[in-house]
């Protein structure tokens, strides 16, 4: 039996459903809790279960991030990091986003 607790999110994992139910009723007697049933999204990670495998995905939060920073309507590339790009310490001034938007 495994109990994952992160601030106010709680997840109970186990093989025996009766033991899980006993733990749930015991905890809800002592604490003010809400039961959300089977785990769907925890800590921003979505859990999907199919016949053959488990999948952890964050598609919804990627979409949210892309929309929040206005990058949603961009073309797609296949490589996250171009090895020819040299990232070195910037000795000059910082470039503000407003100036950058003119490039």
Partner 1 sequence: MMVKVSQYIYTRIIRSLLHLANHTRPNIICVVGRLNRYIHNPNVSRWSALERVFKYLKGIVDYGLHYSFFSTVIKGFSDVNWIFDSKEMKSTTRYVFTLCGGAVCWKSVKQTIIIGSILGIKLVTLDAANSKDEWLQKNLIDVPFVSKSIPPISIHYDSQVTIAMAKSKKKNLKIRHMTIRHKSIRHLISHGIISLDFIKSKKNITDPLTKGLVRQRVIQSSRKMGLKPLN
Q: Which residues bind partner 1 (CB under 8 A)?
A: 1-2, 14-15, 43-46, 48, 52-59, 61-63, 65-66, 68-69, 71-72, 74-90, 92-100, 103
CB atoms within 10 A of CB 10: 17
| Distance of closest approach, residue 50 Cβ to partner 1, in angstroms | 9
6 strand-pairing partners = 9
Name the nearest CA neighbour of 36 among 56, 9, 1: 9
| Distance of closest approach, residue 40 Cβ to partner 1, in angstroms | 14
Q: Which tokens in the block code for residue 10?
A: 């709680």
| Dihedral-angle region of residue 70 (phi above 0 means left; psi in -120 to 50 means alpha; beta otherwise) | left
Comparing CB distances to partner 1, the nearer of 5 and 56 is 56
Comparing CB distances to partner 1, the nearer of 34 and 80 is 80
Comparing CB distances to partner 1, the nearer of 27 and 47 is 47
| Distance of closest approach, residue 74 Cβ to partner 1, in angstroms | 5
Comparing CB distances to partner 1, the nearer of 8 and 55 is 55
Burial 30-51 (b: 16+ CB within 10 A, else e): eeeeeeeeeeeeeeeeeeeeee
């Amino acid at each position: 039996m495994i109990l994952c607790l992160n601030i106010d999110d709680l997840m109970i994992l186990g093989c025996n459903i009766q033991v899980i139910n006993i733990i749930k009723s015991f905890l809800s007697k002592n604490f003010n809790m809400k039961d959300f049933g089977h785990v769907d999204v925890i800590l921003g990670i979505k859990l999907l279960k199919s016949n053959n495998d488990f999948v952890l995905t964050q598609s919804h939060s990627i979409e949210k991030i892309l929309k929040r920073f206005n990058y949603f309507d961009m073309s797609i590339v296949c490589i996250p990091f171009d090895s020819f790009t040299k990232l070195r310490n910037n000795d000059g001034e910082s470039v503000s986003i407003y100036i950058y938007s003119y490039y």
